[in-house]
Structure 1
Amino acid sequence: MSKSSQREDHLKALYALGESQPSSWVSTTQMASHLGVKPPSVTAMVQVLAELGWAEHRPYHGARLTPTGRKLALSLVRKHRLWETFLVARLGFGWEEVHDIAEQLEHVDSVELVKRLDAYLGHPQSDPHGDPIPKADGTFHPEGEVFVLAELNPLVRCEVKAVREGSDATLSAMSAKGIALGSVLMPSQIEALPAAWLDQLMVCKTVDDGSAD
């Protein structure tokens, strides 16, 4: 892996781990666990990101993105999710097959390519896993009200909108059960799902059309 790809992977990891609280510090231990590497190598790379002006680094606190770093990270997220969409929508890959391939393609540095890819796909708002695709300016399209399936109480008819942190094996198992984005789940179906899936499936409530449960 090239040095630039390593920098970008660490940048994206910092974004992913700090996304819910952009101003908070992310520890190098968290980043190491996320990337599957050793903490000392993360510390060295975070120092590089700080030298580039992409991150702030404070010993014993961790790191957080600068505005410039966040913009670059969102660009990587945008490319990754567009490539995942292309692989599923145009090349027929399963949603469980595309993450690792997109991890490689996201490092292709061509603004024009990404612009044309986005246009070719019809400017999609979300990827095959339901994750929102950042727009070119780093903002997101407005999202409707979605819930973690485990928090849906009482159980009602709902539609699958996204899968969060689903491994390839989990996505494959969901596909085998006929679960995909847009799938409608009835209460009896929800009760039969593995408990772990209830924390991974993001859903929205749907209007009951009168069909039997």
Structure 2
Amino acid sequence: MDVATLPAKTQDYLKIIFDIVERTGQAATMGELAAAMKQRPSTTTEGVKRLAEKGLVHHERYTGITLTEAGRGIATAMARRHRLIETFLVAQLGYSWDEVHAEADLLEHAVSDLFIARIDELLGHPTRDPHGDPIPLANGEVEEISVTPLQQLPDGASALIERVHDSNADLLRYLAEKGIRPGVVVQAVGTEFAGMRLISVAGSNIALAAEALEVIDVSYSPPTNPS
């Protein structure tokens, strides 16, 4: 199915379901989808029902929403468009990483596959976008990365930031000011107060609230006990 033949709202639904499943490893809930789409749950329920009738999603009561093979093909094409556009805006037009999500949401519906292919070539076929999300290949393949939420990093442990969820522009600006972004090594120092944790970045301790900790994914392998 050609992405260009689908309404923009359908494209949005499928891309957001893909993002939620990729980020959480779980089926998307109706509440998560409604919040991301900024619409009432009843409207989202009707939208998902129509997607299921078209064979683009699986949805059973109380089990969440997942993509069918056809739905995933469209969703990965949209994720590829979105993430390449974000990368282009940062690399070529001087946008900061907190500015690109909303711009890409608008542009991804208007560009052609040829335009996306030219951006990909110009940028040297990048594998990650500015937030660390894997950029799907043109054939739909997506790099699988093993990550742990920063919230779960044990005290004293160090880890590499792999990706930062891009839904909150104000939070992205704050993290950038503190030097917290993909490719940076951080260490969990301990809990400070009211659920906040101290995170060490380049020798400086920074207190992060749960909202920030939950959107930062790191690569961390727990030490194994010697046999």
TM-score (norm 2): 0.75
Report matched runs for 1:97-112 at 5 Å. Answer: 97-112=99-114
Runs of 5+ in structure 1 lacking a partner? 206-213
User: Over residues 49-82 of structure 1, what are the superposed CA-to-partner deviations in whole Å (9 max), with x where a residue is unaligned?
Assistant: 2343322454676643211011101111111111
Report SS of the residue matched to 2:66.
strand
**2:214 corresponds to which residue?**
199
> Cα 1:29–1:198, aligned 2, differ >3 Å: closer, same or farther?
closer
Q: Following the alignment from structure 2 to structure 1, what is the Cα–Cα distance between the partners of residues 25 and 157?
A: 31
Calculate the TM-score normalised by the size of structure 1. Answer: 0.79
Q: C-alpha separation between the residues in 1 aligned to 2:207 and 2:66?
A: 37
Identity %: 35
Specify the SS of the correspondent of 2:116. Answer: helix
Superposition map of 1:74-153 within 5 A:
74-141=76-143, 143=145, 146-153=147-154
Stretch moving more, 170-179 or 91-100:
170-179
Q: Which residues in structure 2 correspond to 1:181-192 (within 5 Å)?
A: 181-185=182-186, 190=200, 191-192=205-206
Match of 1:13 among 12, 16, 25: 16
Compute the displacement of 1:109 (Å): 4.9
State whether structure 2 residue 30 is matched by structure 1 residue 28: yes
- Aligned to 1:90, the other structure's residue is in SS state helix
Question: Aligned partner of 2:163: which letter?
Answer: A
Number of residue pairs aligned between Structure 1 and Structure 2: 201
Which digits, 9 at most, give the CA deviation of each residue in 1:125-174, with x for residues without a partner? Answer: 1110011111111112354x544333333424543332135511111011
Aligned Cα root-mean-square deviation (Å): 2.8
Relative to structure 1, the CA distance from residue 90 to residue 185 in structure 2 (aligned partners, 3 Å threshold; closer, same or farther) is same
The 8 Å contact of residues 82 and 108 in structure 2, kept in 1 or not, is answered as yes
Give the Å deviation of 1:203.
3.1
Greater percentage in strand:
2
